[in-house]
Amino acid sequence: MTLRWYGPGHDTVTLEQIRQIPGVTGVITTLYDTKPGEVWSQEAIHDLKKTVEDAGLNLSGIESVNVADEIKYAGPNRDKLIDNYIETLENLGKEDIHLVCYNFMPVFDWTRTELARKRPDGSTVLAYTQEAVDNLDPDKMFESIGSDMNGTVMPGWEPERMAQVKELFEKYKDVDEETLRENLIYFLKRIMPVCDKYDINMAIHPDDPAWPIFGLPRIITNKEQIHKVMDAVPNKHNGVTFCAGSYGTSLKNDLPDIIRSLPGRIHFAHVRNLKFNSPDDFEEAAHLSSDGNFDMYEIVKALHDIGFDGPIRPDHGRMIWGEIGMPGYGLYDRALGATYINGLWEAIDKSEKKCPELKEPAENSEK
């Protein structure tokens, strides 16, 4: 079990606190000060790893090495930028890091329309309504939501990124779903040799929400789409971050079924719950099944059944007990989430050891 940690100076949660969460042995982190397209030096990676290890934790993976938009829309510098990405992967490999989560969403990373919706129990959570997105000028997105970040910089919402929104939209005007997928496949084919050399598992994060917003294409939203990308580059190092909260934004997605269809290709799992007030209005509930719409037991069981052995992390938590921190990334509710997921895992593991017939097969394993 792991927790996401943003690095010294960027996170309100400390490594010492993370170390005290039962069952959490590692962190998923990043070099938060680097911009998409920049090479990560081996020294900087080494220092980050040392900081984590000195606190008694493992550096279990990177989330994210962000892919520059110019690679996504295939601008003139894309090959140079991919060379830089390869150099970063090489430096990560030399530091014995074997998992990289990334996304291929144009312009925006994940999108929420409220960062502090109050729930009846007094906790606050991230939330999304389609109506709010439909009424929002993408250029004003940062202004409308920036004040709720509690003084933190949320991943995917960096002011520099938001400052370029207008220009970026222009660059994507001729990029449809098909082109974006071709650009992703081009990128994957170019980076696979370095991933093979250093055994680096690339784990693509799904688009969130799982449909096009602001007229931008989105290509990792459901089972069919993820399989297109898996099939186009059939290398184990071309893999998936299974994120329950992101695939789950679409109620059409059957989450355990997506998991069972990807044995051997899921390298990283984000496990959390969502509560839907309508198909167009959802909020990020506590992890517990009964607090939201997902059956968390079935999600964890599917991961267990396919033999998933990569890092899991609880995902966005509620703000509770007066904590002030990065929305979604406080300490307390994620710690509760980690403990709950660990409890489910232990129960499933022990039951299946006692009764192996409880294990359900993966989609493409022999029945």
* Residue ranges binding ligand DNO (CB under 6 A): 63-64, 101-103, 109-110, 155-156, 205, 270
Name the catalytic one among 69, 128, 243, 304.
243
Structure tokens of 353? 């050891």
Could you confirm whether 316 is annotated as catalytic?
yes
Structure tokens of 275? 């509560």
Q: Name 59's bridge partners.
A: 27
Comparing CB distances to ligand DNO, the nearer of 205 and 318 is: 205
Chain position whose Cβ is nearest to ligand DNO: 64
Sign (positive/negative) of CA torsion 37, 42, 47, 51?
Answer: positive
How near is the Cβ of 66 to ligand DNO at its closest, in Å? 6
How near is the Cβ of 361 to ligand DNO at its closest, in Å? 29
DSSP states of 156-213 as a string?
T--HHHHHTHHHHHHHTTT--HHHHHHHHHHHHHHHHHHHHHHTPEEEEEPPSSSS--
Name the catalytic one among 98, 237, 267, 270.
270
* Residue in the block written with tokens 């006692």: 354
Comparing CB distances to ligand DNO, the nearer of 149 and 347 is: 149
How near is the Cβ of 165 to ligand DNO at its closest, in Å? 17
Ranges assigned E (strand) in 228-348: 238-243, 266-271, 275-278, 281-283, 312-314
Name the catalytic one among 316, 332, 333, 340.
316
Instruction: Give kind and range of the element (H or E) at residue 170.
Output: helix 165-171
Name the catalytic one among 98, 205, 267, 287.
205
Q: Work out the number of other CB atoms within 10 angstroms of the CB of residue 87.
A: 16
- Distance, CA of 182 to CA of 180 (rounded, Å): 5
Could you confirm whether 46 is annotated as catalytic?
no
Q: Comparing C-alpha atoms, which of 251, 300, 304, 303 is closest to residue 274?
A: 251
Could you confirm whether 329 is annotated as catalytic?
yes
Q: How far is CA 173 from CA 106, 169, 180, in A?
A: 11, 6, 11
Comparing CB distances to ligand DNO, the nearer of 208 and 305 is: 208
Angle between helices 223-232 and 177-198 (to 10 degrees): 50
How near is the Cβ of 61 to ligand DNO at its closest, in Å? 11
Comparing CB distances to ligand DNO, the nearer of 244 and 362 is: 244
Q: For residues 126 and 115, is the Cβ–Cβ distance under 8 A?
A: yes
How near is the Cβ of 13 to ligand DNO at its closest, in Å? 14
Comparing CB distances to ligand DNO, the nearer of 184 and 348 is: 184
Name the catalytic one among 6, 73, 102, 329.
329
Comparing CB distances to ligand DNO, the nearer of 2 and 103 is: 103
How near is the Cβ of 96 to ligand DNO at its closest, in Å? 21
* Residue in the block written with tokens 């996170």: 11
Burial 47-57 (b: 16+ CB within 10 A, else e): ebbebbeeeeb
Catalytic residues: 205, 243, 270, 315-316, 329
